[in-house]
Chains A and B, each alone.
Chain A
Amino acid sequence: MATTEAELKSLMIGSLDGDATAHSALLRSLVPLLHAFYRRRVPNGEDVEDMVQETLIAVHARRATYDRERPFTAWLYAVARHRMIDHFRRLRQTLPIEDVESILVIEGFEEAANARVDIDRMLDTLSPKQARAIRDTHLSGHSVAEAAAGAGIGESDVKISVHRGLKALAARIKIT
């Protein structure tokens, strides 16, 4: 059963690539997450099962709206949040509902909230060589030697690229 952002996202990408096994594994993994999500927020528990099923159908039918470059759970909880709003609308109830960012934090996916997108956006401002060196050594966990072999450059070149890239990022963060 997939439970982390990374696992769920890789199942979702499998599903988008047409892998039916990944798709059913994804939907099965979502059931407990969605149960927890709705039980915490819907006052009378009877409708929870229906809402979980409606959400699974929406995830299935509208999966083209997921952007592979962004966190999966942010998309999932945006869909779930909307299903809940729609549910209360049909019942003519008004309840306060948190925004997607807060939902991600409450449901234990805070790392997905913005981190990855921001890092990618920051790295895009660097030269491709520096961005790649930082990605390899600091995000993907490769050694300097592996990064150097992968990029076809010298090890000292990797080290200098990482150093200069991080320095440029630090300067940029100070400005903004």
Chain B
Amino acid sequence: MKMTTEHLIETLSRDVPRVSRYALVKRVALGVAAGGLVAMILVSLALGVRPDLKIAMHGFPFWMKWTYTTSLGIGAIYAITRLGRPTPFSLRNLWLLAIPALILTGIGVGELARTPSGDWLALWLGRSWTLCPWLVLALAAPIFAGLLWSFRRLAPTNFRAAGAVSGLGAGAWAATIYCLHCPEESAIFVLTWYSLGILLAAGAGALLGPRLLRW
């Protein structure tokens, strides 16, 4: 038998937990953190944390990589909290996500200027360019799954865009965690291969969004 509307209202009003002002961003952050924990376990078990991590954490390249990936990740979380609301959101604001890439490009140009042109290819490809984008994409999967959990309380209406920024966020945080393993140090390596992995994740998110985010 169908429930009457009055009965439905009574049932729903039995369970009214307080919702804080920051409930939305907390839920998104929790989804990322839960998925990120899984990604971190995967890195430490399957790939191994780079043995020189402690030393690397005192150097510029490590923090350059982390600043790049975390700033993308924070920007993506902000975009998710906006696209997770039903009210319209202008996608033009998303161009801000290009700023970290532009800054990294600047660092990369400086790097190339200091390097003899014969070494440019080695600088660009590093030792792991064939693997890096795919590992970032793979590590993004558990974080994307965490975000799908977050979305169960969100109300997106532009599924393609919401999926894309979720993939982008998952990719950016996956790359942040991948930094614990990856020994590459050049800006143009990160700009190309990390970004490629993150963009693959964003593309996968855009493809999956309309299927998985409907409510």
Cβ–Cβ contact A53 & B88, under 8 A: no
Q: With the chains together, A73 CA to B17 CA distance in Å?
A: 22
When C-beta atoms are compared, the residue in chain A nearest to B18 turns out to be A18
The answer, among B12, B88, B153, for a CB contact under 8 Å with A78, is B88
Which A residues lie within 8 Å of B85 (CB)? 65-67, 75, 78
Cβ of B117 within 8 Å of any chain A Cβ, yes or no, is no
Cβ of A23 within 8 Å of any chain B Cβ, yes or no, is yes
Smallest CB–CB gap between B4 and chain A, Å?
9
The answer, among B16, B155, B214, for a CB contact under 8 Å with A15, is B16
A56 touching B24 in the complex, CB below 8 Å, given contacts A65-B84, A67-B85, A100-B87? no
Cβ–Cβ contact A60 & B12, under 8 A: yes
Q: With the chains together, A18 CA to B19 CA distance in Å?
A: 7
The answer, among A56, A70, A81, A82, for a CB contact under 8 Å with B5, is A56
Cβ of A129 within 8 Å of any chain B Cβ, yes or no, is no
When C-beta atoms are compared, the residue in chain B nearest to A67 turns out to be B85
- Would you list which residues of chain B between 3 and 57 have a CB under 8 Å from chain A? 3, 5, 8-10, 12-14, 16-19, 21, 23-24, 27
Cβ–Cβ contact B86 & A16, under 8 A: no
Cβ–Cβ contact A62 & B21, under 8 A: no
Q: With the chains together, A62 CA to B214 CA distance in Å?
A: 13
Cβ–Cβ contact A23 & B155, under 8 A: no
- Would you list which residues of chain A between 85 and 140 have a CB under 8 Å from chain B? 85-86, 99-100
Cβ–Cβ contact A64 & B5, under 8 A: no
Q: With the chains together, A107 CA to B97 CA distance in Å?
A: 37
Cβ of A49 within 8 Å of any chain B Cβ, yes or no, is yes
Cβ of A157 within 8 Å of any chain B Cβ, yes or no, is no
Chain A 26-45 per-residue mask, 1 if CB under 8 angstroms from chain B, else 0: 01100100000000000000
Cβ–Cβ contact A18 & B154, under 8 A: no
Q: With the chains together, A53 CA to B9 CA distance in Å?
A: 9
Cβ–Cβ contact A58 & B8, under 8 A: no
Which A residues lie within 8 Å of B60 (CB)? none
Query: Count the B residues whose beta carbon is within 8 Å of the partner chain — how many?
Result: 27
The answer, among B12, B18, B23, B214, for a CB contact under 8 Å with A27, is B12
A57 touching B12 in the complex, CB below 8 Å, given contacts A62-B215, A99-B88? yes
Interface centre among B3, B9, B10, B21 (most CB of A within 10 A): B9
Which B residues lie within 8 Å of A62 (CB)? 86, 153-155, 215
The answer, among B3, B18, B23, B153, for a CB contact under 8 Å with A61, is B153
Which A residues lie within 8 Å of B70 (CB)? none
Cβ–Cβ contact A31 & B5, under 8 A: yes
Cβ of B105 within 8 Å of any chain A Cβ, yes or no, is no
Cβ–Cβ contact B12 & A19, under 8 A: no
User: Would you list 21 pairs from A and B whose C-beta atoms are within 8 A, ordered by A residue?
Assistant: A15-B16, A17-B18, A19-B16, A28-B9, A31-B5, A52-B5, A53-B8, A58-B215, A60-B12, A62-B153, A62-B155, A62-B215, A64-B24, A64-B154, A65-B84, A74-B87, A78-B87, A79-B86, A82-B86, A85-B157, A99-B88
New A-B contacts (19) at CB < 8 Å, excluding given A60-B12, A68-B21, A78-B155: A16-B18, A19-B16, A20-B13, A20-B16, A23-B13, A24-B10, A49-B5, A57-B12, A62-B153, A62-B155, A62-B215, A64-B19, A64-B23, A64-B27, A65-B86, A67-B87, A78-B88, A99-B88, A100-B87
